[in-house]
Every structure is written in structure tokens, then in C-alpha cells.
Structure 1
Amino acid sequence: MDHVETLECTLCGAEYDPDQVIYTCPNHPGVKGILDVTYDYDAVVDRFDEPLDGDIRSQWKYRAFLPVADDSEPVTLGEGGTPLLETPRLGTELGVDLRVKDDGRNPTGVLKDRATSISVTKAGEFGREVVTCASTGNAAASLAGFAARGGLDCRLFVPGDAPEGKLAQPLVYGADVLGVEGSYDEAYDLSMEVTERFGWYNRNAAVNPFQVEGKRTVGHELAEQTRGDVPDWLVFSMGDGCTIAGGWKGFREFHDLGFVDEAPRMLGVQAEGASAIHDTFHDHDDVDDVADTVADSISVGRPRNTVKACSALEESGGESVLVSDEEILAAESLLGRTEGIYAEPAGATPVAGLRKAREAGVVEAGDSVVVVVTGNGLKDTESAMRAGGEVDAISPEIDDVVDRYPDEA
């Protein structure tokens, strides 16, 4: 990997060899010393010969930017290449020029597939036969699917309140799914302990330095898809902070290399019940590490990638907002009925955040905005039913239909 320089600690700047398995900088307690992959961009550009013409069939169009060995065979299910949709009705509702990047169309239904493809490919490079992670459901399903694709064993740690719909996927993919009697953070800590004891390759958000690198490709794609019409704002939900960090890093790279003329501001959105990154960004003295929100995918009390997430907000001149569970479910319904986009609660959270930012005057009327939907609504049908309402029961007689729609009969 001559295009990859180092793994650099985001806290102290210590550098480590990218050809070894290392998760965090040992100079800091716990998992605080998150590592960032640095590149020789001259070497990257020399390797990159793809036209930026909007034809994106998968994230592997950007292989030259990814931290994989030249002789690696990627473990892929066709992730990436998701559409950027014009959404005029929703834009009118929110008072902005709006487009939606629908990453719920990835192979297992989540943006996380971009990262998982890299992790499982790296597991093969390092000769590991077992992969693991902690997850509220989406990362578990993603890792299980890609592990099956790559012929690896998969061991997953999920909190006891993970949605059943999300657990069905990894079970079908053949993973060992271990329900931890505790929170996501407790499942996360256990998975890290197990990783050290057994030597399994860990996909966990933030602590695997290659994870965010896969998520950069959503930024690369957005830069390519918006060339000549770069939005004022990119809107992401935030849990551990990896997605907004990766999206910003990817877009910033294309801007710094001159592939696009402008870079957007980042708007990060968290649930009121899981607000640690927002609290840190706004210098709140009391950062609440308890997570309780309907948006389980971002229900993180102790985010591991706060430093990178806050850096993305600061570097881009961005902002963060909080939204309630009620606002999230309302946004899920609004997104579905105005544009036919079916998002899980975390995927709809950016829409709720955009409305909140408009009301606060952070995003101005007429601004150009791209919202990134990170997960498909099929992931959490129970929440979808709360958002969408009840089924109306009628008899099998036409009179019941006429009574319901008398002006159309």
C-alpha cells in the first residue's frame, strides 16, 4: 500500500504502521486514541484514472483512494453507487432546494456497507478467519452479509433491545448473534475485550481505523454527483460520529485535489436522547452518556469518533442540532409520503434536523441542501408503523369504499 502513509492518532499525532492490526493509540486510555489513515495523495492521483462523469456503479470506482493492498480481491456486494434524487415536494415543504442521497439502497440496506466491505477485505489481508463487532443491528447485519460473501465466520454482540427485523438478517447470513443483557455501550466494551482475547478481526465503528475510510466514498460520490452544483449543506445523522467524519473527509479530498470547486458545510443531527457529540461540539459542561431514542442506529451514549465528527463540523463551518423522537418519526412519514423514500428512524433523522435548522435560521430559505439517508425503513418496521399510522379495516363490499371516497365514486 504505497499510497497509504500512516495511521495517525487524532489526539497526540503518534504514527503507526498501516500494515499491522492496531485499533487505537496505546498512549491513551480505553479507546480514546482513535487513529486516522493518512495518504500520499500524489500516489493516489497517479493511481486514479476514472472519469468523474457521474457514472458510479460501486464505491470501488474510487479504489485508488481506499486503504487496500494492490493485490487484494475486494469483498463486495456492489455497495455504493447510490442515487442522488431530486426531491422538490419535500424541498418545498422545508423551504430549501433539496436533494436526497438514498444510501438505504446498499446491499444490506445501510450506508455501513461501504465501511464493512473495507473491513472484511482487510480481514482477509491480515489472514483473519473470524470477524466481529458490536451493533444495535445495522452493522451486525452488514458484517454478517459481507462475512458470508468473503467466506469468514462472524460473531456478533447486540444489545437486548435491538429490533427483531435487524437481527433476522445476520441470522439468515449464518452469523452467531449473541444478545448482550445490557446497552449498546456494554456490548461494545465486551466485543473489544473478546477481540483482544481471541484475536478476531473487529469491525467496530471508530476503533477500526479503516472503517471511516470506506464511508469516505459517500463523500466522493456526492462530490462527483454535485460537480457544478455543490450544495450549501450536507446533512447527516450522528451516532458514533463515523459517517459524518467519513463523508466530510471524502468530499474535502476531492475539493483539495481540485476535482470540485467548492465544499459544503456539514450539518450533524443527533437525537435528544443520544446527544453526546452535539453537547461536545457546543462545549456543554454536562455531556450525557445515556442513550435512549427510537433511532436505535444512532443510540450511542459514548461515541468513539467524537473528535473526527467535531473536526468535520468545525473544518466545514458547520453546525449541529438536536431533534426529538416525535420529530424523527414525523420526518420518516414526511419523507415517505412526499418523495416515496422509505427510511428507518436514523435515516430520517437528517430530515428532522433540517427542519429544526431552518426554524432556527441556521439553514436559510432557498439554500441548496443534500440530505443523506443512511438506512432503509425495512430495518425497523415497528417504528415505521408508529410513523405511518394504522391500517383501515373495511368489509369486502364496494359500498365501504364508496363511503370512504364519496366524491370520487
Structure 2
Amino acid sequence: MELPHVRTLECTLCGETYDPEEIIYTCPEHEGVAGILEVKYDYDEILDRFDEELDGNIDSQWKYRAFLPVADDAAVVTLGEGGTDLLETPRLSEELGVEMRIKNDGTNPTGCFKDRASSVAVTIAREHGRDVVTCASTGNAAASLAAYAARSGLDARIFVPGDAPEGKLVQPLVYGADVLAVEGSYDEAYDLSLEVTDEYGWYNRNAAINPFQVEGKRTVGHELAEQTRGEVPDWVVFSMGDGCTIAGCWKGFSEFADLDFVEETPKMLGVQAEGASGIHDAFHEHDDVDEIADTLADSIAVGRPRNTLKACRALEESGGTAVTVTDEEILAAETLLGRSEGIYAEPAGAAPIAGIQRAVEEGIIAPDETVVAVVTGFGLKDTASAKRATDGVTSIEPTLSAVTTRYDAETESASQP
């Protein structure tokens, strides 16, 4: 597996470097998973390999294969991930009081942003001759990895917290994965997945520690840079769990700026739930960091974010910031996004909308600024939370009078001064 365009893997803490053609997850000079690795590239080599037109036509993330850490002769494992639409959202813009667009990554093959990383992970695992892939997940990464493992003929063994949404666990089971519900938190499931990786030599897809996973996620930054050439937004907004996604987007977008493919970069706004705010707290230098995640937005329910350093670096380098929102605000944003634009997002995917509302109220985002929010997951991933956000189904008798009584009453009420 030769990677001439990848220079090295570099520790974000001490700068020690490692061979990118070997499987290594974190820098062994540091205890635990503190020594997160960064993939460093030879951009002259990449430019020699990249011959695509930046014309807004993006079939999949593999348009940017020259930027991804896979060998030229590797057989890519793909389900058509990436290339998601950037949608104009005039009604949502009016509701929020700021010019908005949505990049809807809930339309990826398994319904979530994580497919960008899973495609790269399984491609690399197969190139290294691994038969089993694993990860810890609250649901989305589990489904995503299971799908790509099935596509490639590999076995998937997934560790999830015991309270993961049932709807999300059905999906990886359908894909044939072995799903193990750990009697504990996501962080405990995560730690166990690292132990079994060491014990059995399975290939670990955990995005916070596998250095190549952020690289797959950074294609969203490439796509946004291409899709907004000439009209780069003032802000790009993501929800944050482990911190990998916002870090990946910033890396991709800033790469395109450094290569003069675009003239500007946006500020990054990271949004966390109040009950899982580790990155927000670290960025704002809070001392009272709570490692217990307590939020209904399970995809970002991370008590100990592993990629805090990369996420905070993205916020700082971009001139952005982080905000927190309540679960109630997230649910309200989910229904606002649905009724205004017909986009159905899971709670973590709707959290950026709640974050934009908070940022506008606090004067972080000015009324004359432009914003792109990235929806990272489809709403059918968690219908139980969505149900909490609505008034539910109205029961009526099977008669015309029951309908006319309801809507005549609504009309009369609406006409009252």
C-alpha cells in the first residue's frame, strides 16, 4: 500500500512522526488516546494527481480521491457517499433572520455524514488484509461501518452503549453486523473497542483515534469550497460530539484556500448540547468540565471528546466559536427545519439550527452575514425524539363532519382579532 502523496502521520502533541503506510492509531509517547495523529500531505504530489474541474458537479466524495490517503491502485469500497446537495432555504432564513443554506448530509447511503469516513476506513482495512472491522458508536457509525463492511465482504463487530436508540441498532443488524450492547455509557463502549482492537488485531474505525477517518470527513470541506466558490459563507455550522467532523471540514476547506481554489474561508461555529459540552468548555476555558453526557441527541452524546484539540484548533484558526443549546431547543429546531424546508433531521443534525438561533440572539452571527449549516443525520434515525417534538397524531371519527369541525374551528380561530 504505497502512499506517495502522504508524507507522514504527526502527533498533535509532541510532533513525533510515523509511517502512514502502517496501521497505527495514536502516538505511543502519550498515555491513553491523548496522542492524536494528523495526516500530513505532499501537496505538490496531490496537485500532480488532481485533474478534476471544480465546476460544482460532484458525484461522490471520490472526486477528491487525489486528496485521500488511499493507494492509487486500491479498490475503493463505495456506496456513492458524498456529493450531497447544498440547498437554498428561504423560509428557514426568514425564520432565523439570517441568510441560510443547508448542506444535507442526511442523504448519504446510510443516512448520515459518517459514510464519508467509513468508505475510507473499509477501503484501507481491506488494503491491509484485515478481515474484521470494529468501532464504538451511539448508532450512526455502527450502521455506516456495517454497511461498508457488508459491501466489501468484511465482518463488522460493533460496540454500542446500552441506551442507544433501538431504531439505529436495527440498521447494522440488517447489514449483518455483530452488535454488542455494552452495559454502560458510550465512553465505556469506546474504551472496550480499543481493548479488543489490541487483543484481536481488528481494524478500528473510531474516527477520534483513527487518523484516516478525519480525512474522509474532510471531503465535506472540499465539497463546500467547490459549491460556494465566489460566494463563500461567513459561517459554516456543525454539531460536535468527538470533534472529528468540524475538524475535518475546516481542514478540507482551508486546504482548498491554501491551494487558491477558493479565495476565502468561513468561520466555524461548533454546537454542542448543554449536557455534553466538553469541546465548548475546553474552547472557552471552563474548569467545570462534566464527563457524563446527558442529552437526547445521542449522536453527539460524548462525555470525553477525543478530538478536542483538533476541533478547538478549527474554531480558533477559522476565527469561529462554540455555543451550547438545550435539548428542548434542539427538538424545536428539528420541527422548525422540517416544517420550513421539508428537511427531516435527527436531533444532532438539527442542533446546528438551534445553535444558529442562539448565535444570532447573542450577536455572534450578524444579520447581514451568510450561513451554511450541515445536517449530519436523517430523522428516521431517531423517531422517538422526533415524536417528543410534535403534538402527535390527531384522532378523528371517519366522517366528513369531523374534518369540517376541526378545520372550520381553526379557520374561525385564525380570524379572531
TM-score range, shorter chain: over 0.9
- Please give the alpha-carbon distance, in whole angstroms, between the structure 2 residues aligned to 1:246 and 1:387: 31
- Structure 1 residue 206: deviation in Å? 1.3
Alignment-derived partner of residue 14 in structure 2: 12
Q: Percent identity?
A: 73
Q: Moved runs in structure 1, 4+ residues, more than 4 A? A: none
Of 349, 359, 381 in structure 2, the residue corresponding to residue 347 of structure 1 is 349
Alignment-derived partner of residue 3 in structure 1: 5
Alignment-derived partner of residue 183 in structure 2: 181
Secondary structure in 1 matching 2:14: coil
* TM-score (norm: length of structure 1): 0.99
- Structure 1 residue 26: deviation in Å? 0.4
- Please give the alpha-carbon distance, in whole angstroms, between the structure 1 residues aligned to 2:334 and 2:341: 11
Of the structure 1 ranges 345-354 and 387-396, higher mean CA displacement relative to structure 2 is found in 387-396
Alignment-derived partner of residue 215 in structure 1: 217
1:351-391 superposed Cα distances (whole Å, 9 cap, x missing partner)? 00000000000001121000000000000000111112210
1:206-263 superposed Cα distances (whole Å, 9 cap, x missing partner)? 1100000000000000000000000000000000000000000000000110000110
Alignment-derived partner of residue 325 in structure 1: 327
Of 376, 394, 398 in structure 1, the residue corresponding to residue 396 of structure 2 is 394
Alignment-derived partner of residue 28 in structure 2: 26
Query: Does residue 70 of structure 1 match 2:72?
Result: yes
Of 262, 265, 276 in structure 2, the residue corresponding to residue 274 of structure 1 is 276
- Please give the alpha-carbon distance, in whole angstroms, between the structure 2 residues aligned to 1:159 and 1:205: 17
Alignment-derived partner of residue 310 in structure 2: 308
Q: What amino acid is the match of 1:290?
A: I
- Please give the alpha-carbon distance, in whole angstroms, between the structure 1 residues aligned to 2:108 and 2:391: 27
- Please give the alpha-carbon distance, in whole angstroms, between the structure 2 residues aligned to 1:388 and 1:376: 17
Kept after mapping to 1: 8 A contact 2:120/2:212: yes
* TM-score (norm: length of structure 2): 0.97
Kept after mapping to 2: 8 A contact 1:268/1:321: yes
Alignment-derived partner of residue 284 in structure 1: 286
- Please give the alpha-carbon distance, in whole angstroms, between the structure 2 residues aligned to 1:338 and 1:2: 47
Runs of 5+ in structure 2 lacking a partner? Answer: 413-417
Kept after mapping to 2: 8 A contact 1:99/1:369: yes
- Structure 1 residue 317: deviation in Å? 0.4
- Please give the alpha-carbon distance, in whole angstroms, between the structure 1 residues aligned to 2:391 and 2:25: 44
Alignment-derived partner of residue 370 in structure 2: 368
Kept after mapping to 2: 8 A contact 1:205/1:304: no
Q: What amino acid is the match of 1:268?
A: G
Alignment-derived partner of residue 142 in structure 2: 140
Kept after mapping to 1: 8 A contact 2:136/2:158: yes
Q: What amino acid is the match of 2:146?
A: A
Q: What amino acid is the match of 1:105?
A: T
1:39-80 superposed Cα distances (whole Å, 9 cap, x missing partner)? 000110110000000000000000000000111010000000
Secondary structure in 1 matching 2:392: coil
- Structure 1 residue 294: deviation in Å? 0.7
Of 218, 237, 241 in structure 2, the residue corresponding to residue 239 of structure 1 is 241
Runs of 5+ in structure 1 lacking a partner? Answer: none
Q: CA RMSD in A?
A: 0.9
